Each structure stands twice: as C-alpha cells, then as structure tokens.
Structure 1
Amino acid sequence: MHTNLFNIVLISFFLTLGTTSAYSQDIKKKNTTIPPKKEITKAKEDKTKNIVPTPIKDSIKADTVKVKKAFLEGKVSYKAHDYTKIDQKKKLITLYDKAELYYQDIELKSGIIVMDYDKNEVYAGRIKDSTGKYTQYPNFKQGTNVVEPDSIRFNFKTKKALIWNSRTDQGEFKIKAAVTKKENDSVYFLKGARFTTSKDVDNPEYYFQTNKVKFIPGKKVITGLTNMVIADVPTPIGLPFAYFPMSKETSVSGIILPNYNDSNTRGFSLQNFGYYFALSDHYDLTVLGDYYTNGSYGMRLESSYAKRYNYRGNFNFRFENLINSERGYPDYSKQTIYNIQWSHSKDSKSNPNSTFSASVNLGSSKYFQQSINVVNLGSNLNNTLSSSVSYSKTFNSVPQVRMSLSATHSQNTQTSEINMTLPTLQLSVDRVFPFAKGDGIKKGFIKNINLQYNLNGRNSFVTTDSLFFKPEMFKNAQVGMQHSIPISTNFKLFKYFSASASANYNEVWYLKTIRRFYDTNQSKVVDETVNGFDAFRTYTLSSSIGTTIYGTFNFGKDKKIKSIRHVMRPSISYGYTPSFEKYYDTYAADASGTMIKPYTRFEGGIYGAPGLSNSNNIGFDLSNTFEAKVTDSDTTKVEPKKIMLLNNLNLSTSYDLNADGKTTFAWSPVRVSGGTQLFKNKMNVNFGATLDPYAIDNSGTRINMYNINNGGSLFRMTSANMTVNYSISSSEFDDKKKDDDQVKRNGGREDDLFGKSRDVLNQKSQFDDTDDSKGEDAITTFFKSKLPWDMTFAYSLTYGNNNREKKIINNSIMISANADLTPKWKGGISTGYDFVQKGVTFTQIRFERDLLSWRMDFNWTPFGDYSNWNFFIGIKSGVLSDIKWNKQRVNDRTIR
C-alpha cells in the first residue's frame, strides 16, 4: 500500500509538472515602495520665466530572465493492462501489455511503450506471447495518418520519428518500409520500401521495390530507381524514378497510356492515348486518340458532369478517319465516320414544374460496324439509332396547362435513312367539366361531359447519312400543326355496363401543299409544290360499351387445384368518320385527259390528309385472364395459393358497314394475342396469330368469299408468332441485375444474349469485390456449395401463310450462360442457332481469372463478320490501371 501510494503521488506530481508553467526565479512582492532618488536639476529660464522640470527615470530595470517553456504542450494520458512503471531517476515511464498513450492529435497503442520525459521522446514496440511469437504491434495514429510498424521512436517536441518496418495505407496503396524517417507532419522519407495494391502487404503477389522514397501523405509518392517484383521474382520492368499521385480528391488529372495493336490492313497502332482533365468537382474531360501507321486515326472526347439535386449527364464524341489498304491498290478506300452520344437528366427536386432530358445517339450508320476502336458487340448488331431531347413545363393555372418542346431522331443503320423532327411542340390544356358543380361530384351522362385542347406542331425531315445537316436536307422539310378538341363522357348503363361517347374535332395547318397535273413535256403526272398557308378540318364520332364477366369453376376442397377463375372483358365500339370531298380535286392521268382521278392537295403531309370516303366501323374486343387456386406446398399455410395461368388472351376484329365487297371487305382479320409466365415467373411466353375469314384465289389475291365457303376452314391463318424468354440461376431467388450503361446508350441489348460488352479503355471485372483474406476457407466453402451459374434463354418462331406458302419465316434459339468454374475462374458463352438459315448465330466465348490484385480475361468471337479475340491482363486498382497488357485481333472490316 505504501508503494502504490508513493507511485500515485509521483504520477500526480509528474502530470502537474507537465501541465503547469515553471520559472527560473520568483520575485517576491515588497510591502513598501522604494522611493526614487531625488536629483537637483537647474531649470532653464525663458522670457516668461516659467520653470520646466526634467522627468526622473526609475532606477529599477525590468526583469530580463526568460520563462522556460514546459517540455510538453498538452496533457498526456496513458494506461496499460499489465503494469505501469515510473523511474524518476532515469525519468522514464514504462507501460507494458496493451499499452496506450494519447497526446494532442497523437494516439499510440503497442505492446510496450517507454516514455523518456527528459528527452521528450517515446519508444513503442511489440512483445512476445507465451509461445515466443511477436504480438501487439505498434499502431501510431496522427490525425488521419495511420502507421503500423514493428517499432517506433517519436519526439514530442520536434515531431520527428524513426519507424522500423512500417505499414501504412494511402488510398489504394499499401506501403511497407524497412526504415521510415518522419521529418514533420507532411513529409516522410522511406528506405527499403515496397508499395502495392495487394491486400496483404507482407506477402503480396506483386509490389514495387525501391530504396529511396519521399512520401507526402494524401498527396504524392516520389521514388528513385523502382523495380517491379511479381511473386517475389524481380522483373525487367523498372523506372529510373516514379511519381504516384495520392490526392484525396475524387479525381486527378493525368496522362492515359495507350494500347498497342496491329492490323493486317492498317499496320501497327497506338490506341486510347490521351489525357484526363479533372476540371472541377462538377465536370471532367477525357481526350483520347488513336493512330495507325497507314494513316488512319481517331479521336474521342468524353465528359461527365453532375450537380447534386440539379442535373447529371455525360457527353461522348468520336471521330475516325479510316484508310484501307495502300494508295494505288484496287482495294484502297478512305472514309470518315463519327458518333455523338449525349445523356442528360434533371433532378425533379430542382424545379418540380419543369423537366429537361436528353438521350442522343446519332452519327454515321456504319460507325459501330467499322470503328477501329469499338468492340461493343451489342451495338454492332443493333439496326437502329435513336435520339430524343425534350423540355417540358407545367403552368399551375386553372385549368392546368402543359407544354413541351422536343427533338427526335431515328436512324436505320442498314438503309442509312434518317427521320428527324426539329422541333416538336406539344401543348395541352387540362380537362374541363363544364356541367359539373364546384363540389367535384361527376355522376351521369351530362356531368361527365368534358373537353380539352391539344396542340401539336412539327418540323420533320427525311434524309440520309450523306445529306445530314446539309442544305438539301432542309429543302424537303415537312412543317405542320394540328389542333384537336376532344369531347367525351362516360356513364353506367343498366348497372353492369360501362358506356362512353366521344367526338373529336381536328384542324390541321400546312405551309406546303401540292398541285397534281399531267405534264405533257415529261409525259407523266407530276406534283408541284405550292408554298403558302393552307388548312383542313375534320371530325370523328365514337362510342363504346363494355362489361366484366366473372366465372369460377370449383373442383373440390380435397383437390390439388381448388378452382379456376375466368375473367372476360367484352366490349363493342362504334366509330364514324364522314367523307370530306370538299378538299379533293381532280387531275388528268393521261395525255388525252379522259382518265380523271381525284386527289387532295394535302397528300404527303405529316398529319395525313382528309378522307374521301366515310368510315362506318363496329369493333369487337374480348380480353381474358385465367387464374387458379392450388394447394400451397407450404403445409403451414391454410389458404390456397393463387397462380396465373394466362395473363391475357385477347381477340379483336371489326366490321365495316360501308364495305362494297370489291375494294373493301366487311370483316377485318381476327387478331389473337396472349401471354403467360411459367416456373415462378422465370419464363415469359408470348404468342400471337392473325386469322382471316376470307379466301384467296389462285394468284393469292383476297376475294369476297368466306374461306369456309371455298372448301377451307372457318379462318385462314395468315401469320403467327411466338417468343419465349427464360432466365434461371443457381440462386433462383436472387435477381442478378445485368446493366451496362454504355450498351444502352449505344442502343444495344441490356442482356448478354449477344455477348458481354467490353470497353477497351475501362475494362470491368465480372468478379465481385470479395475479401480475399478468407483464403482456404473461401475455397472450402465454394466446393461445399452448388456451382454458381446463370443462364438466359430466348426462342423465336414466326410463321407466314399469307399466300398459302405455309413457311417458317424465322426459327431461332439463343442462349447465354455464365458459371463460376472455380473460386477464381469465371466462364461464359453466348450463342444460338437459326433453323431457317441452318447456321450458328452470333457466338462469343469468354473466360476470366481473378489474380487477386490482378485480373486476366479472354474474349473470343470465333466466326462471323465480327470475329475477334481479345486478351487482357492488368492491375485492378484504378491508380495503376495503366499497368496492363492488352492484345486483340479484330476482323478487318471493309467499308460497306
């Protein structure tokens, strides 16, 4: 007890000494004041004889002894699990076993800590356990920097330190050094250092070895001669010096190293060489270039931008100058291709009353097929490029008004035809119920009468790649505006029937019309464009009545299938459109002028033309759904389980009351369509067929005779189709999301039936970011479980019999499968077979190997127009993503 009391008193005295001020001498206060000595001075006499006394100085000087500063500037806290020993003679404090020391922003934890408060130093090291193994390695933390060495020596006053076998994490880097000298809070010097992105810094699969390093935490690492070591084997890969940025910012500007490739027709190449500009926190820019030794070159600009709670988007521009073969050879050709992609979305929180969005994908029709730097298989097989840019605003008036401006673009990559609207104006005024009271109750035929106003204006172009945005494109522009006022009402009829009636008034404005006549000079009928405002007005009437019929078939409570429920929704509609003959003129179809035919000057307009004959149709529609109640496989559940047998089974046709039996027929073909989901909604099945009640003659022309009266069946099937899609995986209850933003922007498929997309610049791994530290346990768990896999299956069948050909037009199957062959190997295949063309469809084989800090993959398309292979191995870390080897061979694409 006496010893403990002595230690307690001593520690209290030491802590008090470290937190108080000390002086070299103490000047005691005196009770009496020593008066200054009196000095007699002669006063000078001026003309006024006033005496001015000379001020007398105090003979006691100020104390010049400096106050000695305490050896510590803050409070020191410490503790230990085993013991705390204080040696006052040597001025040492020893903390043993789970020792901890805290001073200002410094935290030190270790097996043993020795503090020398005379030299202002502290030493920390590891200790041995009962088996002789070193444990409790020091953990030194200052601010946000953490170092885990074997031992450390630190000076509280100078903040300098010597660290042996330090280990520290800086961003994606893990750094280990034999000796580290801490110069100050921001500069470290390392000797015998290695740095890597491997998770195990003591036994990494690769590292960079260097003897001299200047390390500035959170900013950069500058090294001397640096050598790359793989599996503890030095490689010839080395640099006389190296610089690695370690900024805590989300992105840093820097050079992007190129890929090397070769081609049979374009020579050797450097691809994707450029620079990344981290312009600000809101946007960036990547500039990339490609060059082939035969003169071909390409350029890419990529930018992403975002502002929280306002907007986000990205912009890509790609241009390539392609040269095939050599000048003077017969197969020499030259072409320029380009592609523009822009995606923009606005956050609704910024302004709920207005929106702006953009999804642009336009350019050369053959860009994805001929590009020297795009191996994006889903985009290659896509036949359509489409774009849309739109702005909408809602005016909170009464009634509410909505306005939108948009520009659209649709491009067929096979025919190079482009359809574009620039712009489209849409304006709508919300519904108004003129006969409803202010309480909002709308019941009955009169009170449900409502009307609204819609405006649609368009400036439309039809052009090709070669004329895109050239003067010829704008000469054939179609400009028009459509006004419509729909009036409708709905009501109940005989309690079980829902009825509706509507009328629609349309007015169309054009700035161009035609005048048709027979030109004797050309000996043919020509259309002459007439510029100027013109308009026509039409109206239509329609009504419908429908109901819902429920039917239930019970099989008994002891049956597996308890009951089947059938829901039918039949409806009958009527539509009437009168003839608008007043808008029609006549023209002579021959030179004699005897053959007179009608025409309207509004033909070819973007909103159509008024009809010459009236339309008087009755439509019939029937939709069906089938559900079943079955005994649940879960015996704990009392209620039966509902399953869907048929999501829909629809039949529709119409009858023309004005049919003449020659050019028009009374009944239209019956269209049957349906769909269902099977195997716990894993399989989607959709089917459809067209049934014609009329027969055809020997030439295949439809005649006004029912097929059953011509020796056939009641209906003649003219076409049919069926599609099946099925997705399954080893974990059926886990939905594996397949998402590739770039494929969607390019217009390709989101699934991998056409193979996985591969971005040459930013290759993504199929492996999840799992903890590799589990080692053997992860492998053992893997082989005890089922083999992870997933599969996507698609089947398509189309039957044609329009002219009794009874022909299978399309019959193909496509499969995509992926599997984890081992914990570190993944494999996949996408292929298919066309039974009509009797050939294998697009096929891709892929493998990927997880090499811990590295990744290796191989993709191979063995045959077809897009046959290619690609081998890649590189470091996963984004900081060292330029350390890679990428070899690919793409099938030479001739300009088509």
Structure 2
Amino acid sequence: MRFQKPSHNFTKILFKGLRTNSLKLLFALSFTVFINTFGYSQDIPPKQEPIRPKETPKPIIKDTTKASIDSIIKPPLNIKEVDSVKNDSIKKPKEFLEDVVTYSADGYVSLNNKEKKIYLYDNAVVKYQDMEITAGVIVIDNNTGLIYAGRVKDSTGYSQRPVFTQAQNKVEPDSIIFNKDNKKAIIYNSRTEDSGMNIFAPVTKRENDSTLFMKDARFTTAENLDDPEYQFISDKIKLVPGKKIVVGPTYMEIYGVPTPIALPFAYFPLNKDQKSGIIFPTFGEDTGSDRGYFIQNGGYYFAISDYLDLAVLGDYYTNGSYGVRVESNYAKRYRYSGNVAIRYENLLTSERAFPDFTQNTIYNIRWSHTQDAKANPNSRFSASVNLGSSQFFRQSINQNNIVNSQNNTLASSVSYSKTFPGEPQVNLNLTATHSQNTQTETINLTLPTLQASVGRIFPFAPKSGAKKGIFQNINFQYNSRAEYRITTTDSLFGKSEMFDDALAGMQHSIPISTNFKVFDYFSVSASTNFQENWTLNTINRRFDENTQSVVTTDINGFDSFRTYNFSANIGTTLYGMFNFKNDKNNPKIQAIRHVMRPSISYTIQPAFDQFYETYDVIDANGNTTDTVEYTRFERSIFGAPGNRYSSSIGIDIGNNFEAKVRSKDSTDAEPKKITLINNLSVSTRYDLAADSLALAPVRLNGGLKLFKDKMSVNFGATLDPYALDNNNNKINTFNIDNGGSLFRLTSANVNMSYALSNETFSKKGEPENDQRRQDEAIRANGRTDDLFGRTEDFSTRIYTDEDRERQKEKEANLSNYNYKIPWNLRLAYAVNYNNTRREDRIASHSLMFSGDIEISPKWTVGASSGYDFLNKGFSFTQLRFERDLLSWRMNFSWVPFSNLSSWNFFIGIKSNFLQDLKYEQRRQPDQRL
C-alpha cells in the first residue's frame, strides 16, 4: 500500500468547489478523493524481511540419505468413487413417496396421467406404510397427495363402507380424505370402536399422532349403533386410541329420548394396564335399624404395581355407624398368588341417648395364599385364613355378608412344609390352625403345630429286587408332633387371659410294621407302636374334708409318660359274578359283580396303672366312703394313658357291587360298567379281656352313586346287641335274651345330594359353574352349591368376555326355548335318628334346594331355600331375579322373611368403563329382630 501524490488537477478541482452551487456534488467528490487516498490496492505487497533473533541460529543440515522403495510394493491407488451428483450444486428434490404404495380393486384400476390420478373401484384396497384403506371407491391424487375413499351406490343403496386402519386405530366412516404427506385426515360419519366403546361422529379430524377430534359425537357400549338402546351425546370428543377418551358437556339419551342425566365433562382411560381411581359408592337408606342414610362400598383403588394392588373401601351411616374394608390382591407368575381382606365395622343402633341405643364393634380377617408348584419342589407355603367376630356375618351392615350369615364355622390354616430329599427322607411341617364355632363363640387355636417325620426304613430289605417275606418287609419310621393349643372365647380373644388355659406338649412315636402273604391268598400285617408323650400341664387332685369337695390343682412343669400296643390283621379279597346274559336273551343288566374284602384283626392294649393315683373321699365323721382313681395326665394335650387292659378281636367286611349294563348305542359292543353300592362295610369288635359288655356295637356304612353319578347317597347305622334296663342304662344282657330283637337300632343317618339340569340326561353334560362365586364361598367357609343362598355383589361385578359369549350362545339358541328351557336344580336331604336311650326320635330332618331357570334368553329366576321337617318351617330363603337389557343388566335379590329380611335392587351398564353409571336401592335387615 502507498499514498498517491496529488496532481495539479486535484488542486484545481478542490478550489473550483468554491464556485459550485450543489452541496451534494461537492460531498460526492470529496468522498471519492478520500477513498482514493486511504484505500488499499489489490496488489500483493512485497514480503518483508523476517525478524531474526540476536543469536545466529545453527544451520539446518539436511539428510541426504534416500529411502529406496521395493518394486513389489506399489503406491496405493485411490479407488474411492466420487458421486458426481453429491458435488452437484443443484439440491436434490424430495422423493414423491417415502414408501411403496400398493393398491388393488376387484372392479377396475384406472390411471389418468394427465390428471395424475388413480381410480380404484369395487373392493378397492390401498396400503401405504402402516396405513390401509378399504372402500368401494378410492381416488389417489398425486398432485395434492390426497387419497379419497367412499362407498359404492347401487340399486339397494350404499355398500362397501370405507375402513381406515392405521396401527391399532380402526375407523369405519362413510367417506374419508387422507393426506399421505402429513398423515392427517378428515373423516365423515365415522364409526370407531376402542376397548368396547363405540363412537359415532359426523365429522372427525385425525392428527398425525393418531389423535381424533370429533364434533357432535355420540358414544355408547351398545353393539347396534344404528339403533342403540342408550347413548351419550357430546359436542366434542378427543380420542387417543388405546389411551384415553376426553369428552365435553354430555347428556344421555335412552332410545332417542333425552334424559336429565348430564355431565359437564368426562374422562375414560383406555389403557389396558391397571390404573388407580375412585370406586363409586352405593347410596341408600337403612329403615330397618334406624341408621339413616348411607353410602356403601365406596373408596379408592391403588394400582401399586403389576404384582400388587390395594382397594380401600368404606361404609358410612348418618347415625354414626361406619365400616372400613381393605382388600389387596397379589400375584407373581410361577411363584405365588393370594389376596387379603380386612373388615371392621362400628355399629350404632338407633340414636344416642335413646333407650334402644346400642353400640357394637365387629371385624373379619381373610387371607388366602397359594404357592405355585413350580416355585420350589421341596418346600411349600400356603394360607387360608377366615377369623373374626363370631357374629360378624350376622350383624354386618354390608349387604354382601348376608348369605355368609348361615355359616356356623370359621376355620383357618397357615402352613409351611419342607422336604429334605435323601435316604431316608425327612419331612418338616409347621402349621397354625384356627377353628371357631359362631353359635357357641368357642375358639380353638394351635399356635403352632410342629410335625417332623423320617421316611420308612427297611433294615433287612435286599439291595436290589422286590422285598419278600416277613423279615425283608420289616420297616420302621419316626414321627414327632409338638403342639401349643389355646381354647378361648370371643370375649377373651386377643387378651392375655386367653393363654391361661393353654396346653403344650410333644408326642414321639416309632411304629414298626411288616406284611407278608400266607397260602397265596391271605395278606397278613403286623405292627407295634411305641409312644412317648411330653406335657407341660398336669394336675393334682385331693378331697378337702372341710369343704367336702374335690380340689383340683393345675401344675405347670415338664412331665412324661410312655405307651405301646400291638396289632395284627389278616384279610383277603373274594370275587363273585352273577351273569344274566345267555344265548337266548340279552337283558339290560347283563351281570352283577360282587367284591368282598373280609379281614380279622387282633389288638392288645396294655394297662398303664403306674401313671394312676388315688384319693379317698371322707365324710363328716371321718370315715372313708370311696376311693377314686385318677391320673395326673388328664389335662395332657394328647390324652391320658389307659388303665384298662384290652385284648380285642375285630371283624370288618367291605363290599362293592358293580353292574354291567348294555349300551344304548348298538354299535358299542362292550357293555358299560356302573357302580351300584360303593363300600358297604360292616364292622364290630369283641374284647376278650372285658368282664362285661365285651361286644362292641355293629357299625354299618355305605354309599350309592345314581343317575350317572349325579346323585350321591350316604347312609349309616349303629346296631347295639345289648339291652337297656328300666333306667335306660345299658346292661350286660343281650337284647334278644331280654325279649327284644337281635340288635337294637341306636342311631341312623342318611345324607343325599343331587345336582341336575336340563342337560343331565343328554350327551352334552352339565354346564360349568361360576368359578368366581365358588371361590368367594370357599374363602368364607360356606357352601359352593348355593344352598345357603348366593352372594350378590351387583355393583362391583365385572362383566367378562365369558359372560358375553354365554349370552350370545343363548341368543343363537333362541329357537330351542320352544321345547327346552335351560334350568338347574341342586338338592340336599339329611335325616338323623337317635335311639341310644329309648329316645326314638328324629334328631334332625331337613331338605335344602337351590336352582335357576331361564324362562327366556333375557330372563333368569332363581331361589335358594329349605324346609325343616322337624321344626316345621322354612330355612333361610333367597329369591333372585336377573334381566339382561342388552347393554344393561338388572338384578333383584330378596330375602322375604327371618331376621335377615332384606332386598337389593340394581340396574346398571355392563361395560366396565361405565359401571359407575348405575342405580341401586336396598333395604337393610333389621338387626333388632
């Protein structure tokens, strides 16, 4: 860069500026001069000398050695191809389609190159990426990227409605416009179904994230959208398939008639995973016990995880009564599953300060746990717990507990077992049990019971081959049982006083046995058993002369006694056949087979007098009037040792009767085998060491299976050979010698159960029972045959796919109702006779029945009741009515009489999405009765 020297012209121009009249011209010329003076030239300036350091640097010595390259190694060639288009300055345009579009049609496919459109007619199909459209007519416009789909019009109207499917979303409109670029769509008269919810909208806009916005839409769970029995009308709806439905202001119509039922907004989750939410309660009024208005079974559901959930429910009455329920289900595949339910109720009758006011608290705890067999083959844990107040089911204010009020026993069991494989095998079992009589309010607990056993050991068995003979079959094992037993009542349960009368002890037993054959047809077995009993509870008994009474003192401390016995048994099996078929005739019953298993046993039971003591009864004058024998082990948990020597012979005869019956099918050559009498047994014993009453009563037991094993009959009787005196006491005189019969019938019983239906005698067989109802009955220690009624929890019942399939099957077989109406009936008959001391009376005599009849595919009527022939009155009676209203269901349950008289009416939508839309009215039982 250098400055330019101004010339003489420059000076003249500068001074000439004094004569101009234009300031703009002067400013432009001055600016030009300024640029020319201070501007830089485009020439490259010469290189300046580099600044060297003060010290002279050392000269750089270059290596003159040259590296030679092997002629074999050649320099690498540049084989990378350069795309000429990549370096092209012109930007490559976007592809017209991102994927292949496939299309087809049954009618014709027309391509218009001028309009750049494709016309498809009759069963047209277009697939593009995850989108599929089927319709009567489809037009693909390549100019705008739009796809039009519509119906086909013929003489009958419109047909081949479009079906638009993308991912999991499916829409059935009248017509559709789809933009394949941004994947948006406008849908007209769409019909959408998601998780059982049917939605119809005149205009629907679909966004590219599969979200649907609908205007003036209606939604329902009815299957017939053209004529739904009910529907909800909403101005706007937002649908995210598989996730949620959000609606604005909504009102309800029933068969096209508007109703006052309206909602400002609504939210329906469609996610199939568990979700937390509010459980809508049931409202009503308790007019029976004056508790006022109430809400029942309302609360919140917590979806804690895929393995665990929790429901907190409650009942509240305006007089102050309330109830709380906590229920939880848990499960882990291939490991375990179970449920827990805790119920507590604080019951107030009438109002405070009134003379009939009462307050009572009741509770119930239920726990069920099942371990999968695959979890651990050598250990197992299970639980079945049902404990609480004895009057819980009778006094509960919750309608769901009325049927369980007929259960007289509550039982529980929690057990853990462990097996140690090997030779011999060792088994360990730890169990806690509970048994509660709700009538007497007596509770028996074992906390816990420990059982250990060692498998059978054959000391003389050969190392290989079968065991033969008396010595090779000799075996023994070891069993041990420790128990801590508590007997208490409802009022003392949970208090320290319940342990005052607790019993504890341990029993060890070593049985030794063997078996062998004699004369090839007789089986002989012999055994001996040694027992040692440990106890912490003994007594001391004496007679107090001052009070003239027997004083018994409990002693807590370790004590033990040992017992043993010996027994032998010989038996055989006899077969008899009675043939009725011959060459001349072919009767229905072709043969009867009789199998008899007689056996004779001999048992020796020594007397263990060393464990018995005596005390003298002394009168007021100091004279001994009696000497009483007792044992200090009377309170032993496993019983006291016997002080009477016994040497008895027993006779047992078992009988089975079977028949061969000609088959109804002529093509079946083999007759069918049926059981006539199952195990008709007769048994008695004779004590050789007894000085009187040596012959024991004869016991007769048997069972029958009739009507293709649908009817079960069990009977039993006790026959005593000894007579009674005038005071009805048994004497050592045979009844036949006293002027009577050979035996005296002292007791008898007959139990019969029968389940039949319209399919009982057909080849189709019996219908399957409702497993949900049976599981609930088992958890409550009730009956599974509905003879005590049926628990009807209408508001929380889930309408499953099995229920829908069952209803569709009924409708498909509608014509069968003209000659065959589905029905079922369950019967239970029981009678007990007692004549031990010439009572000659029927101790109990009752008939219970339960059944249902479908008078039409939509109507079902059922009843559970019974009649007590002894007291001449009906037992607990429940009447049931159920009406299927397409998308709705109506149920009515009624207990017409007794102190549990009540009724429950329910009508609601079947769908689980709208199960809170319901009406329920009930009358509570009057507990004051």
TM-score for the superposition, normalised by structure 1: 0.91
Alpha-carbon shift at residue 805 of structure 1 (Å): 2.6
Contact 2:811–2:857 (8 Å) recurs in 1: no
| Residue number in structure 2 paired with 1:252 | 275
| Residue number in structure 2 paired with 1:833 | 867
Contact 2:719–2:744 (8 Å) recurs in 1: yes
| Residue number in structure 1 paired with 2:123 | 98
Alpha-carbon shift at residue 817 of structure 1 (Å): 2.2
Q: Hey, what's the Cα distance between the residues in 1 that align with 2:685 and 2:232?
A: 78
Q: Hey, what's the Cα distance between the residues in 1 that align with 2:382 and 2:503?
A: 25
Look at both structures and tell me which one has the larger radius of gyration over its CA atoms.
Answer: 2
Q: Hey, what's the Cα distance between the residues in 1 that align with 2:798 and 2:853?
A: 17
The within-5 A match list for 1:191-590 is: 191-249=215-273, 251-264=274-287, 265-519=290-544, 523-557=548-582, 558-560=585-587, 561-590=589-618
Distance 1:624 1:827, change over 3 A: same
Q: Mean Cα displacement is larger for which, 204-213 or 517-526?
A: 517-526
Q: Hey, what's the Cα distance between the residues in 2 that align with 1:655 and 1:706?
A: 14
Distance 1:773 1:824, change over 3 A: closer
Cα deviations across residues 723-754 of structure 1 (Å, max 9, x unaligned)? 22222111124223334211110111001222
Q: Which amino acid aligns with 1:182?
A: R
Contact 1:224–1:241 (8 Å) recurs in 2: yes
Distance 1:660 1:137, change over 3 A: same
Distance 1:766 1:753, change over 3 A: farther
Q: Which amino acid aligns with 1:90?
A: E
Q: Hey, what's the Cα distance between the residues in 2 that align with 1:67 and 1:214?
A: 40
Please, which of 659, 663, 667 is the counterpart of residue 628 of structure 1? 659
Alpha-carbon shift at residue 255 of structure 1 (Å): 0.4
Q: Hey, what's the Cα distance between the residues in 1 that align with 2:116 and 2:385?
A: 75
Alpha-carbon shift at residue 346 of structure 1 (Å): 0.3
Alpha-carbon shift at residue 349 of structure 1 (Å): 0.5
Please, which of 135, 145, 152 is the counterpart of residue 159 of structure 2? 135
**2:225 counterpart SS class:** coil
Contact 2:902–2:924 (8 Å) recurs in 1: yes
Q: Hey, what's the Cα distance between the residues in 2 that align with 1:477 and 1:136?
A: 81
Gaps of 5+ in 1: 1-36, 51-60
Q: Hey, what's the Cα distance between the residues in 1 that align with 2:832 and 2:275?
A: 54
Alpha-carbon shift at residue 146 of structure 1 (Å): 1.0
**2:777 counterpart SS class:** helix
| Residue number in structure 1 paired with 2:197 | 173
Contact 1:479–1:512 (8 Å) recurs in 2: yes
Alpha-carbon shift at residue 793 of structure 1 (Å): 1.8
Cα deviations across residues 364-416 of structure 1 (Å, max 9, x unaligned)? 00001110014345421110000000010110122111101110000000011
1:42 equivalenced with 2:76 (yes/no): no
Q: Hey, what's the Cα distance between the residues in 1 that align with 2:697 and 2:489?
A: 36
Q: Which amino acid aligns with 1:96?
A: Y
Contact 1:100–1:110 (8 Å) recurs in 2: yes
Q: Hey, what's the Cα distance between the residues in 2 that align with 1:75 and 1:311?
A: 50
Q: Hey, what's the Cα distance between the residues in 1 that align with 2:664 and 2:101?
A: 68
Q: Mean Cα displacement is larger for which, 836-845 or 849-858?
A: 836-845
Q: Hey, what's the Cα distance between the residues in 2 that align with 1:577 and 1:802?
A: 27
Identity of aligned residues (%): 54
Contact 2:544–2:550 (8 Å) recurs in 1: yes
Alpha-carbon shift at residue 93 of structure 1 (Å): 1.5
| Residue number in structure 2 paired with 1:709 | 737
Q: Hey, what's the Cα distance between the residues in 2 that align with 1:453 and 1:354?
A: 20
Alpha-carbon shift at residue 426 of structure 1 (Å): 0.7
Q: Mean Cα displacement is larger for which, 339-348 or 431-440?
A: 431-440
Distance 1:637 1:536, change over 3 A: same
Alpha-carbon shift at residue 87 of structure 1 (Å): 2.1
Distance 1:696 1:128, change over 3 A: same
Distance 1:776 1:475, change over 3 A: closer
Distance 1:127 1:39, change over 3 A: farther
| Residue number in structure 1 paired with 2:707 | 679
Q: Hey, what's the Cα distance between the residues in 2 that align with 1:780 and 1:754?
A: 32
Alpha-carbon shift at residue 656 of structure 1 (Å): 1.2
Contact 1:546–1:570 (8 Å) recurs in 2: yes
Please, which of 606, 631, 634 is the counterpart of residue 637 of structure 2? 606
1:818 equivalenced with 2:849 (yes/no): no
Distance 1:475 1:539, change over 3 A: same
TM-score for the superposition, normalised by structure 2: 0.88
Matched residue pairs, number? 845
Q: Which amino acid aligns with 2:830?
A: S
**2:497 counterpart SS class:** helix
Distance 1:63 1:566, change over 3 A: closer
CA RMSD of superposed structures (Å): 2.3
| Residue number in structure 2 paired with 1:769 | 803
Q: Hey, what's the Cα distance between the residues in 2 that align with 1:482 and 1:859?
A: 52
| Residue number in structure 1 paired with 2:923 | 889
Q: Mean Cα displacement is larger for which, 730-739 or 356-365?
A: 730-739
Alpha-carbon shift at residue 297 of structure 1 (Å): 0.1
Distance 1:625 1:378, change over 3 A: farther
Alpha-carbon shift at residue 67 of structure 1 (Å): 3.2
| Residue number in structure 1 paired with 2:894 | 860
Please, which of 68, 74, 77 is the counterpart of residue 99 of structure 2? 74
Please, which of 749, 767, 772 is the counterpart of residue 736 of structure 1? 767
Q: Hey, what's the Cα distance between the residues in 2 that align with 1:482 and 1:489?
A: 23
Distance 1:760 1:325, change over 3 A: farther
Distance 1:456 1:269, change over 3 A: same
Alpha-carbon shift at residue 587 of structure 1 (Å): 2.6
Q: Hey, what's the Cα distance between the residues in 2 that align with 1:890 and 1:658?
A: 64
Alpha-carbon shift at residue 891 of structure 1 (Å): 1.8
| Residue number in structure 2 paired with 1:21 | none
Contact 1:377–1:756 (8 Å) recurs in 2: no
Distance 1:688 1:515, change over 3 A: same
Alpha-carbon shift at residue 43 of structure 1 (Å): 5.1
